[in-house]
Amino acid sequence: MKQFIIIGMGRFGESIATSLYDMGHDVLAVDIDEERVQSISSKVSHAVQADATDEQTLDALGISNFDVAVVTIGGSVQASMLITMLCKEHGIKYVLAKAQNKLHAKVLYKIGADKVVFPERDMGLRIARSLVSSNFLDYIELTPDYSIVELKAASNWENKSLQQLDIRAKYGINIMAIKQQNDKVSVSPAGEDKIQKDDILVVIGKSQDIKRFQEKTYE
């Protein structure tokens, strides 16, 4: 069980905090707003009203004991950067921070953030892609060039093996897993594995190759 400190209880921070707690982890939720702290107190291990930009406050919370810090401060870029820096200075090995824009993200990385996310932008992109393609289920941008995508298997793939489809050779993308309707998941499927009706493919590759794959497969 890992110990997480989530700083900032907006919608994004609260979602992460409650999800981690539901997964069985020890979660400390921190926010300067008393109402937000009270609202989440029953959904996490501990909830504290505190100003996380104050180093003495962080010391009192025992911040150096946490494995992961998630900084989701949305209203103040300066506060976000200061808290991220303090978390790293206090020895937290992994710090994920929410950014408002590319410049904010660049600074967060410079001061030690291990991962920077743009939740509003990323969710907007997922929704936009799902509206454009009925076969698209989910999308995760790993880097500006590489993505992981969930796609419904094309109807003409039924009972064909991955070797027959030869997707990697044709499009340069890899099938990471096949999710079947009975909730069975085949991770790193073999070439002889066959696609069944309503299967979902989890693929990884260059974003441009995935786009080309979708255009050719579902045209």
Q: Give per-residue pLDDT as tens, 85-122.
A: 999 999 999 999 999 888 999 999 999 999 888 876 66
Q: Give the model's confidence band at 134: pLDDT under 50 very low, under 70 low, under 90 confident, else very high.
A: very low
Token duo for residue 106: 């660049």
Instruction: Of 34, 25, 26, 28, give the one whose Cα is nearest residue 7.
Output: 28
Instruction: Of 116, 121, 120, give the one whose Cα is nearest residue 69.
Output: 116
Instruction: Of 124, 125, 131, 95, give the one whose Cα is nearest residue 111.
Output: 95
- pLDDT of residue 27 exceeding 60: yes
Token duo for residue 54: 């104050």
Q: Which one is predicted more confidently, 140 or 170?
A: 170
Q: According to the model, what pLDDT value does residue 143 have?
A: 66
Using a 10 angstrom Cβ sphere, with 0-12 exposed, 13-18 middle and 19 or more buried, the burial of residue 197 is exposed
pLDDT in tens, 148-164: 888 888 888 889 999 99
Does residue 87 sit in helix, strand or coil? helix
- pLDDT of residue 126 exceeding 80: no
d(CA 33, CA 51): 9
Q: According to the model, what pLDDT value does residue 131 have?
A: 44
In the predicted model, what is the mean pLDDT of residues 203-212?
Answer: 85
Q: How much of the chain exceeds pLDDT 90, in percent?
A: 47
pLDDT in tens, 33-90: 999 999 999 999 999 999 999 999 999 999 999 999 999 987 789 999 999 999 999 9
- What are the φ/ψ torsions at residue 95 (nearest 5 degrees)? -125, 120
pLDDT in tens, 164-192: 999 888 888 888 888 887 778 888 888 89
Helix or strand holding residue 129 (H, E): helix 119-132
